């Protein structure tokens, strides 16, 4: 069984899968299939009595599907995970793994518009078959919507100026390519921090276009319903917005980190943390795969 490491190099592979403490007959979900790296390792831990359901909304991932009788790739966003599993007759699972964010392939495929390294259509959709593109968003969103996107999903100190520049630019010519956006962002970037600034602008648009935070919230809520008692979930995230949501939900049972207690003062929450602190890649993994440098893995067990 082979996986496409050119498509995506799996991050924190052993840590995320071993942390699930899988039985050989487990029913498992890989919510973010990609190149199949995590799925392949999960399957190596299962017997023929176990089963792995994998999800990916990107049609580019479909050719990577693993050839195994106890594997099925479902072409869908993981925010619809619960409904698709129900259609398969599955109401409970033993484990869920999710490697949140953009795959290496999506960054490297210049025509997808995720990166500003080359001029390309300003798309950024993980699901190329539906939804509005980043260009649509920039050309059609109201001033308030753009302010919300960049204030929420980027750590920028001049969001108002950025939004005004974007509005002025689209009044002259509609956004169509990555270079159109880069040229505006570059003018507003702090000196010697152009790359970081532009990356933040692209990140904010990508998160909004793909409803990444909404999908993550839905995944965690669905995991609460789907996981058997004692079942585990591994979530790998790459920026603080995602990690904060996961941390709060695992620790407090609430996305905002608010505590709810029962009559006896016990914290009401669906999960207990397997480790109190996130697991991060070691120096060797970062050296082999620079994109792993910001990864944080959190593992929790259904109470």
- Each residue's pLDDT expressed in tens, for the chain with a length of 303 residues: 555 556 668 999 999 999 999 999 999 999 999 999 999 999 999 999 999 999 999 999 999 999 999 999 999 999 999 999 999 999 999 999 999 978 777 767 777 888 888 899 999 999 988 889 999 999 999 999 999 999 999 999 999 999 999 999 999 999 999 999 999 999 999 999 999 999 999 999 999 999 999 999 999 999 999 999 999 999 999 999 999 999 999 999 999 999 999 999 999 999 999 989 999 999 999 999 988 999 999 999 999
Contact predicate 296/235, CB 8 Å: no
Go through 75-96 and write b for each residue having 16 or more CB atoms within 10 A of its CB, e for each that does not.
Answer: bebbbbbbebbeeeeeeebbbb
Contact predicate 136/71, CB 8 Å: no
Distances (CA, A) of 177 to 129, 167, 180: 19, 16, 5
DSSP state of 30: E
Length of the chain, please? 303
| 59 burial level (CB within 10 Å; 0-12, 13-18, 19+) | exposed
Sign of CA dihedral 203, 163, 175, 59: positive
In this structure, which topology does domain 13-104+212-302 adopt according to CATH?
Answer: Rossmann fold (3.40.50)
Q: What are phi and psi of 95, to 5 degrees?
A: -160, 150
Contact predicate 78/219, CB 8 Å: yes
CATH top-level class for 128-209?
mainly alpha
* pTM (two decimals): 0.92
Structural domain boundaries in the chain: 13-104+212-302, 128-209
Whole-number pLDDT of residue 251: 96
Three-state SS for 20-46 is: CCCCCCCEEEECCCCCCHHHHHHHHCC
Coil/strand/helix, residue 195? helix
Question: And the tokens for 35?
Answer: 């190149």
Q: What share of the chain is helix, strand, coil (3-state, %, to 5)?
A: 45, 15, 40
Cα gap 46→300, rounded to integer Å: 20
Whole-number pLDDT of residue 5: 57
Cα gap 147→160, rounded to integer Å: 7
Q: What are phi and psi of 262, to 5 degrees?
A: -80, -175
Question: And the tokens for 18?
Answer: 């071993």
């Amino acid at each position: 069984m082979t996986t496409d490491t050119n498509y995506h190099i799996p991050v924190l592979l052993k840590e995320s899968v071993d942390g699930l403490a899988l039985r050989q007959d487990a029913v498992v979900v890989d919510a973010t299939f990609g190149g199949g790296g995590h799925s392949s390792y999960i399957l190596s831990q299962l017997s023929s009595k176990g089963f792995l359901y994998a999800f990916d909304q990107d049609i580019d991932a479909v050719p990577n599907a693993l050839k195994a009788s106890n594997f099925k790739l479902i072409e869908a966003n993981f925010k619809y995970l619960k409904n698709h599993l129900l259609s398969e007759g599955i109401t409970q699972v033993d484990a869920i793994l999710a490697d949140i964010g953009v795959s290496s392939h999506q960054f490297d495929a210049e025509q997808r518009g995720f990166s500003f390294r080359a001029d390309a259509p300003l798309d950024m959709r993980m699901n190329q078959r539906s939804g509005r593109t980043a260009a649509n968003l920039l050309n059609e969103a109201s001033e308030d919507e753009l302010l919300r996107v960049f204030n929420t999903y980027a750590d920028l100190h001049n969001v108002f100026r950025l939004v005004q520049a974007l509005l002025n630019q689209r009044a002259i010519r509609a956004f169509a390519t990555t270079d159109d956006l880069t040229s505006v962002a570059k003018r507003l970037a702090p000196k010697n921090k152009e790359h970081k600034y532009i990356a933040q602008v692209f990140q904010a648009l990508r998160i909004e276009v793909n409803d990444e935070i909404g999908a993550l919230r839905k995944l965690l809520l669905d995991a609460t319903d789907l996981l058997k008692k004692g079942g585990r979930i591994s979530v790998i995230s790459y920026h603080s917005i995602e990690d904060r949501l996961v941390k709060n939900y695992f620790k407090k049972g609430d996305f905002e980190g608010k505590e709810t207690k029962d009559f006896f003062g016990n914290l009401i929450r669906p999960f207990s943390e397997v480790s109190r602190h996130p697991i991060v890649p070691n120096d060797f993994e970062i050296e082999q795969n620079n994109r792993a440098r910001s990864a944080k893995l959190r593992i929790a067990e259904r109470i």
